[in-house]
Structure 1
Amino acid sequence: MSKRKFRFLKIFFKILIIIVSMILLYFIVIIAINSKKDYNPAISEDLEIKKGRNAWFFSDKSISIISWNIGYSALGKHEDFFYEGGKKMRPDKEQYKEYLKSIFNELGKMDTVDFVLLQEVDINSKRSFYTRQDSSLAGALPTFSHVTAINYNVPFVPFPLFNPTAKVHSGMMSFSRYIPEYAKRISFPFGYAWPMKVFFLDRCFIIEKFNLDNHKSLYIINTHNSAFDDAGDIRIAEMIFLRSYLLNFYENGDYVVVGGDWNQNPLGFDKTKINTGDYVREIEPAIENDYLPKGWKWYYDPKTPTNRDVNTKYEKGVTTTTVLDYFLCSPNITVNEVRTINKHFENSDHNPVYLNFSLQPDTAFCDSLKIYEKVKEIKSKEKGKKKR
């Protein structure tokens, strides 16, 4: 080997070692900072309730609820996402504004329902241009009470390497026409091991309790379970943990509705029943048949997908879709309707899902309805007497 060639290789390897060392140092510093500032919430935390106007439960003969993962207003039909095989970290700013505006408008149209459950709402994140989405979206439902629970709070996400996601501060929101007795953030006590945990979400669910005048309660739960194929075991553990709360509430004679992004297919899901022309896949592991005792039921629209893959922009019939968003109800609840509101993934990688249900005959809802009808009857008779 000539001296010139040897000198060249020596310089090359020195430069290579310096570059590798700098990259390693970069990640070591980020892991150290994220570890020091790691978000570590308690298992149970009380949430601040931003109170709206209080409505009467007997104003309608049924109760309605919508669950929607809004994809932090940055995963509309034109977007892909680097972590799932795409290239982008976020859309351009003008496109982002269009997504947020459209989601705000869609949310405003939901003011006729009783409850709205949102997932992936950014509070102060680079990926959504540091917009306070929680404050903005609260303005779409100004008469509703609402709570916010943080489930993603990381100082710096270093990927993609040349355009890092950086700061992420995000969470979930639950809106209600009624003022809850209390609202709690419950942490799923499972997740990735260190150091991966300092870059990922701290998963949780929101519990809202609504007292009824028959000394029972209605529990509305907003959940967002772990995603990605490598989180299968974590999802199973989360489901077992959630089950303990559900059974406890129901055994006390109360009513339970759980909605959200479960990141797994519902029990009985059959991809061949999707009739929208979309390409569909099934997610493993499936929810077990004996997950809950007899009477508990999963409710979803079997004909319409609720989620799309974001490895590429959305193209009907080509992009992979599935059902991840749905509801679970206790045996003392009667479901009247469930349907996916097919927005064709226009503004989010998820479609909203609507559920209409009734509390069974011995509930305060039905008692209050009878009282309401009786009051109307009395007032009608009084008007008749005055006319005479």
Structure 2
Amino acid sequence: MKLKKVLRNSFWALDLLALGVGSFYWWAKSPTLSSDDYARLEQYPFPSPSAHGDTFKIISYNIGYLSGMTNNLNVRPSKKMYDRHLERAKKYFKEQDADIIALQEVDFDSKRSYRVNQHMELINHLQMGHGALAVNWDKQYVPFPYFPPSVHFGKMLSGQSILSKYPITFQDRIVLEEVKDRPFYYRQMYLSRLAQVTKLKLQEKEVILINVHTEAFIKETRYNQISYLHSLFKRYARDYPVLMVGDFNSDPAYEEAAIELFLSDKTIESAIPKEFAEDKEVLTYPSDAPYELLDFIFYNKDKIEPVGWEVLESFGQVSDHLPISFSFRLV
């Protein structure tokens, strides 16, 4: 009888443990928003330019949720550091006076960055009248980085966004291929890699802008994602001027680099010309001592004419990436 009681209690304990683990898992992966809110177009009470020349300027920037060189490290940066980086970002964006800004790794309301909506902070400071938001991480618990576990708990709402002086008339949030060779719980807690497809009206012309952030760690997944993005670019390029910008996580120097699909295509140009790709001055990651070119702006050269480009070193370590600017005319 005593053995039966011990076994019965053990089974009860295992059942309670399983229930607790299951409940925690379902809570941890539960979203805070409806999926209908994962892609939003917004207008703000700021006027579009009443007059403009024929040259436009875009900046692409993985802002690393303003965590600087602590991104992906096992540390908890202070709010003071985030506030300082936000003020620097505001200052340098204001100086650049871009018509369009495409951001990756921007926090909309996350515990890790002290619940600041970084997109709205920049919109209000720069007084840009149009925005597109695409959420790629909406969880209650995110076990990255792995230590310390105390940083895993709390709302994560993050993604990609576009700020524009000109109207954004369309958005399509495309979820790219997910990693396959990781456990199901890893995939459930991981971010969705996105192609944020938007249509902008620049003066009287429609332009397709695609803001992307591809897989950082799994080479095969990254290749498949970039291959898909290449075909997506070509599809839109038949009818529109197309800009595809973002963090591709693929350096041309990598063995079998997926980014070569774009760089070797004679109908597509890179804002940073291919012949400069190995120059130290154009490398974008990490921002404190760059040794890789991971961030790109691509365009179809039959419909877009380049005017100038720059890797914006002035932003320093606001993020672990450096931004790229590109000035262009529509043909």
- Specify the TM-score bucket, using the shorter chain as the normaliser: 0.7 to 0.9
Aligned residue for 1:227, secondary structure, equals: coil
Match of 1:295 in 2: 267
The within-5 A match list for 1:245-324 is 245-252=232-239, 254-265=240-251, 269=252, 282-287=253-258, 289-291=260-262, 293-300=265-272, 302=277, 303-308=281-286, 314=288, 316=289, 321-324=291-294
1:66 paired to 2:59: yes
Match of 1:144 in 2: 129
Q: Which amino acid aligns with 2:86?
A: L
Q: Shift of residue 160 of structure 1?
A: 2.0
Q: Shift of residue 286 of structure 1?
A: 0.8
Which of 142, 167, 170 is the equivalent residue of 1:157? Answer: 142
Is the Cα contact below 8 Å between 2:90 and 2:126 reproduced in 1? no
1:170 paired to 2:158: yes
Is the Cα contact below 8 Å between 1:147 and 1:174 reproduced in 2? yes
Q: Shift of residue 285 of structure 1?
A: 4.2
Structure 2 unaligned blocks of 5 or more: 1-15
Q: Shift of residue 183 of structure 1?
A: 2.4
Instruction: Show CA shifts across 1:60-117 (max 9, x none).
Output: 23221111111111124xx3633xxxx31x312222221122122222223x221111
The TM-score with structure 1 as length reference comes to 0.69
1:54 paired to 2:48: yes
Match of 1:92 in 2: 78
| Alpha-carbon spacing, 1:293–1:321, altered in 2? closer, same or farther (3 Å) | closer
Is the Cα contact below 8 Å between 2:282 and 2:311 reproduced in 1? yes
Is the Cα contact below 8 Å between 1:34 and 1:198 reproduced in 2? no
Is the Cα contact below 8 Å between 1:259 and 1:326 reproduced in 2? yes
- Please give the root-mean-square deviation of Cα atoms over the aligned residues, in Å: 3.1
1:184 paired to 2:172: yes
Match of 1:109 in 2: 95
Aligned residue for 1:54, secondary structure, equals: coil
| Alpha-carbon spacing, 1:24–1:81, altered in 2? closer, same or farther (3 Å) | farther
1:226 paired to 2:198: no
Further displaced range: 156-165 or 205-214: 205-214
In the aligned structure 2, how far is the partner of 1:233 from the partner of 1:130? 34
In the aligned structure 2, how far is the partner of 1:80 from the partner of 1:35? 22
In the aligned structure 2, how far is the partner of 1:247 from the partner of 1:289? 15
Aligned residue for 1:222, secondary structure, equals: strand
Match of 1:34 in 2: 28
Which has the larger share of strand? Answer: 2
Instruction: Show CA shifts across 1:220-253 (max 9, x none).
Output: 121111112xx2111112122223322221222x
Q: Which amino acid aligns with 1:144?
A: G
| Alpha-carbon spacing, 1:201–1:343, altered in 2? closer, same or farther (3 Å) | same
In the aligned structure 2, how far is the partner of 1:101 from the partner of 1:31? 37
Structure 1 unaligned blocks of 5 or more: 1-21, 270-281, 361-388
In the aligned structure 1, how far is the partner of 2:112 from the partner of 2:259? 36
Q: Shift of residue 45 of structure 1?
A: 7.3
Aligned residue for 2:91, secondary structure, equals: helix
Q: Shift of residue 288 of structure 1?
A: 5.8
The TM-score with structure 2 as length reference comes to 0.80
In the aligned structure 2, how far is the partner of 1:347 from the partner of 1:70? 7
In the aligned structure 2, how far is the partner of 1:200 from the partner of 1:39? 16
Count of equivalent residues:
303
| Alpha-carbon spacing, 1:198–1:39, altered in 2? closer, same or farther (3 Å) | farther
Is the Cα contact below 8 Å between 1:64 and 1:357 reproduced in 2? yes
Match of 2:327 in 1: 356
